Amino acid sequence: MMQGWQEFSEIQPLATKMLQQSILKNRLAHAYLIQGERGTGKKQLAKLLALTLFCENRQGVEPCMTCSNCKRILSNNHPDVHWIKPEGVMIRNEQIDYLRKEFAFSTLESSHKVYVIEQAETMNTHAANRLLKFLEEPTLQSTAILLTDNSHAILPTIRSRCQIIDLKPLDEAHFQKTLLELNVETLDETKSRLLSALTTNVDEALEMHEEGKIYEIKNVVIELFQVLMHRYDERFLFVHEKWLAVLTDRAEQQLGLDLLMLACRDLIRHQVDREQPLTFFAEDDELFEQLIIHFTNKQLVNMLRLILEAKQKLMQFVHPTLVIEQLILQF
């Protein structure tokens, strides 16, 4: 399902605002260079721009997604919207030539042409120069949209002719939505929130999910909170019998501390503002409600500081057993 500007603004508010204003003032540039990391929505934005330019029933900035122009763009089938991708490792000169001829000879269905060039950094100087000539053809009503995740590799001559649009790396909330939309069985709302607090790389998140250790560690962290609340004197025993038994290497210790931090962060945030989204706990978690009351804000902030120090020590190769013992004795 193609998202409109409203949804896109949740992912990329700044880029959306800038482009929306240009559209409404009818002052779109002739060439855009959209730069951003993998997964930031470059192709989606290029398509959205094309839809906006060609839609027959646009409402404000929003394309209708149902008129014949919209449908043809959505199915990559519009005669005036061209997508160029590298053939092999690069965009070849012939591809740019083809594009030029195509535009010169095609009977005009509309006066406007859009061309999108994916991985624009793979054009060599020759192809880029041809493209530039073509960009500056005064008879051509066109919008060029160059996409790249490596803006440093774009020739300065190209950069200087384009309006630059920077897309920001995805935030947690959006990444979580992306994970849920993969429809992986067993990957539910709560799990996706936890994973998106730890990474914004889909492959890494799925690997963690499939491996499942992350959820085992989460249960240990939950149990630690129960121990702190109800069996405080047994916390040292807990470190040895449970924490160090389940979390067996340095990487798992780091992950354990990360989860502990997320849990503290949830508690601190909710003591201040109950509307804040949770990452570690679930909204209706009974333990969570008890913990909010049990710990003062000052205690939790102090715990957070101690966890950060413990993470630092782990990185400096202090023995994990020692680090965790010290940490939990200070709680």
Q: Which amino acid is at 23?
A: I
State the nearest-atom distance from the C-beta of 73 to Zn ion, in Å: 8
For Zn ion, the closer CB: 99 or 114: 114
The window from 58-66, 97-105, 204-212, 302-310 that contacts Zn ion (CB under 5 A) reads 58-66
**C-alpha closest to that of 263 among 199, 197, 177:** 197
The binder of Zn ion chosen from 64, 184, 187, 229 (CB under 5 A): 64
In angstroms, the CA 254 to CA 269 distance is 22
66-85 binders of Zn ion (CB under 5 A): 67, 70
| The pairing of beta strand 31-35 with beta strand 142-148 | parallel
Q: What is the DSSP secondary-structure string of 176-228?
A: HHHHHHT--TT--HHHHHHHHHH-S-HHHHHHHHHH-HHHHHHHHHHHHHHHH
For Zn ion, the closer CB: 73 or 195: 73
The window from 27-35, 59-67, 97-105, 258-266 that contacts Zn ion (CB under 5 A) reads 59-67
20-39 binders of Zn ion (CB under 5 A): none
**C-alpha closest to that of 135 among 165, 161, 172, 104:** 161
Residues near Zn ion (CB under 5 A), total: 5
Between 195 and 214, how does the x/- string for binding to Zn ion read (CB under 5 A)? --------------------
DSSP-assigned letter for residue 30: S
State the nearest-atom distance from the C-beta of 96 to Zn ion, in Å: 29
State the nearest-atom distance from the C-beta of 145 to Zn ion, in Å: 18
State the nearest-atom distance from the C-beta of 183 to Zn ion, in Å: 28
The window from 63-71, 96-104, 125-133, 294-302 that contacts Zn ion (CB under 5 A) reads 63-71
The window from 61-69, 158-166, 220-228, 290-298 that contacts Zn ion (CB under 5 A) reads 61-69
C-alpha distances out from residue 220 to 49, 56, 62, Å:
48, 57, 48
For Zn ion, the closer CB: 55 or 91: 55
DSSP-assigned letter for residue 130: H
State the nearest-atom distance from the C-beta of 55 to Zn ion, in Å: 3
State the nearest-atom distance from the C-beta of 163 to Zn ion, in Å: 24
State the nearest-atom distance from the C-beta of 53 to Zn ion, in Å: 10
In angstroms, the CA 280 to CA 277 distance is 10
Any idea how long the chain is?
331
Contact 81, 144 (CB under 8 A): no
For Zn ion, the closer CB: 61 or 247: 61
55 binds Zn ion (CB under 5 A): yes
Binding residues for Zn ion (CB under 5 A): 55, 63-64, 67, 70
